[in-house]
Amino acid sequence: MKTKFLSFGILISICIFTKVVSATTYYAKVFFVSSDETVSVATGDNANNVLRTTSFGPKVPSGNEDNIVVIKFYSDPNLTTEVSVNAVNIKEVDLVVNKKVVSTFSDFSQNSNLYQVDLTSIAGSSNGDLIIISIKLNNAADNLGNSSSFYFNYYTSISNYGIANGAPLGFWLPTGMFATNFNRSNVGVTFAPEPIGAAWGKKINDRNDNGYIGISLCAKWLIYQQNNSNNSITFSSAALGVLFDISNYITVGADYGVDLTTNKQNPGLMFVVGIGPGLLNFIKSSSKP
């Protein structure tokens, strides 16, 4: 009986050992190739366009469907010994936009050390969207030692504004602004609140950051203080104008104020300034101990 148990234990040990030694660890490096580069240069030893392995960090590299992503596989953690694509036994490569799979690639039969990922399916993404290249292997025992997910950000030079999670059709709601025509009165210069407005515009985006400059046409509710004896405020004024939004930090622009009452004391041309949520959040985070 002891002999049987001993034999059974040896058999289990052999199976476990076989499973452990048969597992293979590969390493991947993913490059972003721009439209003005060749693949050989973009994936060379001195390439600086390597996709990061975390979903946070610097907003580079960035690109869109006009570019391609190239994956290289290696057998060592120093990423010096390249392995052909078909030797890695890949199950699939998923292209993910904002946690949604938009393309799955499963043909890895080519005998090459490069695998190119077509980015056509990410067309129409919003500027700054997080794009993930996710690599899955067939053999559950095998693994990618450094990472199985690689990240970059979608970039387009011109983009629309959008309200909340709706489609980016160009419409947005500017808030928290003040306007003045610098006219002096016996109580000083009036800075009239513009609590909220409706705007349509475009963003000119910075490729290497989430920064942008927005240009919009807008109509806003203007609370204009009239120059009268009881220092009253009328809620019957509006303003039409142009607004420049700097990365959601600060807004500046020019309005033409209109008095909608029968008095017709139009404020006229006014300078506009406002503080955006981005600046408020920055001040809040900087003030934490």
User: Mean pLDDT per 10-residue run, the chain (289 residues)?
Assistant: 48 43 79 74 69 71 85 88 88 91 88 87 87 87 82 89 74 91 82 90 85 94 65 71 94 91 81 89 75
Cα separation, 195 vs 178, in Å, equals 8
The answer to whether the beta carbons of residues 135 and 71 sit under 8 Å apart is yes
The domain locations on the chain are 24-156, 159-286
State the pLDDT at residue 17: 40
State the pLDDT at residue 14: 42
Token pair of 21, please? 């030694």
Query: Is it true that domain 24-156 has CATH number 2.60.40?
Result: yes
The answer to whether the beta carbons of residues 222 and 236 sit under 8 Å apart is no
State the pLDDT at residue 191: 85
Cα separation, 262 vs 239, in Å, equals 17
State the pLDDT at residue 22: 58
Token pair of 234, please? 């009328």
pTM of the model: 0.70
State the pLDDT at residue 68: 84
Non-local CB neighbours of 74 within 8 Å, separated by 6+ positions: 26, 27, 28, 29, 80, 81, 82, 83
Cα separation, 95 vs 65, in Å, equals 12
State the pLDDT at residue 165: 59
* Sequence-ordered strand ranges (E) for the chain: 25-33, 62-63, 68-74, 82-83, 90-97, 100-105, 114-118, 130-137, 143-144, 149-154, 158-160, 171-172, 175-180, 184-185, 188-189, 192-205, 212-225, 233-246, 250-259, 268-275
- Residue keyed to tokens 């600060």: 250
**Pairing of β 68-74 and β 250-259:** unpaired
Whose CA is closest to 177, among 213, 214, 222, 227? Answer: 222
State the pLDDT at residue 60: 58
Number of helices and strands (H, E) in the chain? 3, 20
State the pLDDT at residue 256: 94
Cα separation, 4 vs 215, in Å, equals 82
State the pLDDT at residue 167: 64
Cα separation, 1 vs 95, in Å, equals 56
Handedness of CA 55, 61, 63, 69 (dihedral sign): negative
